[in-house]
Structures are given as C-alpha cells and as structure tokens.
Chain A
C-alpha cells in the first residue's frame, strides 16, 4: 500500500448522489488505474490513465467519471447513473502503462449505498 493513498476508507452514499473517491500517489508513476471489486468476481477495470490530461474507459466505465489534472492524482466520481455502486474500489499505479511494469495498489475505499 505504500505510496498510494485512498480516501475515505469508508463512504456511504444516498440514492441519487454523486460521490468522489480520492486517489493520490507519490511514486512518480505515469499510469493510474481504478478497479472495482465485488465478491467472487475478481477485479474489473473502470478507467485508466497513461498520462496527465488523458484517460481511457475500462470494461465497466458506465456510471463513472474520472479526471487526471495532476500526475499524482486520479479521482473517481461515482455518479447517480451507476445502478449498483456498492463495492470495494481500488486505485493502482505503475511506472508506465503496459509492458512488464507492476501495478501497485492503494488500500481501497468501501462504498455503500444506503
């Protein structure tokens, strides 16, 4: 977990609300990622960014949005359009996207819809 911080650790959302999950890294990594984890389903990629001011959709981007204005920050917004947002959200980063670089993960944010 070292070098990547996520906040808050726990987040509760009411129906119809947008919420933003924070991810910050001090590893000087170019690439950053957001994954969603559900029980028994492994991790699924939501969005990723290879460089500042650029990002791409992953496998399950609907109902989510991101920004990458700074190299060290990659916040994720869970919008009201996301029908089933209750999950554990993990942010990761790597030196570069692709190739042999290892992705390192933050401690996660658990989002619960009330």
Chain B
C-alpha cells in the first residue's frame, strides 16, 4: 500500500537558519512527489514536485527538495528561514501505475520560525 510519513509533528528553527522538513514514502511503482503549504484557515498552496530527472527540485518562495530513491525520501529544505514561512507543510505522493490521480498525504508538519 502506498503511504507517506512525516516523522516530525513540529519543526522549530530560528529565522535565518536553514530548515528541513522530512518526508519518506512507500509506493509500488515510480513516485510522483509533491510538497504543499497551508496557512491557517486557508487552502493548500503548491510548492514543488518531483516527477523525473534531476533529484534536486526547486520551487516557490526559495524552497527546494531532494529526491533520494535509495532512502525513499523527499525532504523539503530552505537555506534561510523566514518568520513568514511558519505554516503547516504537507508531503504527498502519487504512485505509478495508477491513473486515478489520487494523492496520498502525510499528516503534516508544523514549521515554527522564531525571530
């Protein structure tokens, strides 16, 4: 069965420090991986995705993620955190084969950036 794990409920970093939000996945085929961010009482905003090719994916707002097939991970990173990055982050995977478009979401990680 396909699954996504975000092992940390909350990540705390100081403004200006690098941040990492962890994600591991389990799928039967080749994964399509996504990161979304959610601010309070808002919908999810798309940050970036990995489909194929370069393992380092760059996305919106200075975020990037590294696909590691051997470790089945897709960690979200940013070199220098901002207070405005504080939000709830979701990792999601869509497996292949499979044509339903169904995304499997992790439980989410709350990022708290302190000034």
Chain A positions within 8 Å of B, measured between CB atoms, are 1, 4, 6, 31, 33, 40-45, 48, 50, 56, 58, 88, 90, 92, 94, 96-108, 110
Contacts and interface: CB of A to CB of B under 8 A. Distances in A.
Contacts of B90: 42-43
B43 A1 contact: yes
Contacts of B105: 42-44
Given A40-B107, A105-B43, A108-B42, A45 B102 contact: yes
B43 A97 contact: no
Please classify the interface of chain B as helix (H, G, I), strand (E, B), loop, or mixed, using the class held by over half of its residues. loop
A45 to B, nearest CB: 6
Contacts of B102: 45, 48, 58
Given A94-B101, A98-B98, A98-B99, A107 B43 contact: yes
Nearest to A9: B41
B51 interface: yes
B44 A101 contact: no
Contacts of B41: 88, 108, 110
Interface string B41-70: 111111001010000000000000000000
Given A50-B101, A99-B32, 17 more contacts: A40-B9, A40-B108, A42-B107, A48-B101, A58-B102, A88-B41, A90-B44, A97-B99, A97-B101, A98-B94, A98-B98, A98-B99, A99-B94, A102-B34, A102-B49, A103-B46, A105-B43
Nearest to B99: A98
B10 to A, nearest CB: 11
Contacts of B87: none
Interface of B: 9, 32, 34, 36, 41-46, 49, 51, 90, 94, 96, 98-103, 105-108
A12 to B, nearest CB: 16
A108 B40 CA distance: 11
Contacts of A50: 100-101
A53 B100 CA distance: 16
Contacts of B43: 1, 4, 6, 90, 105-108
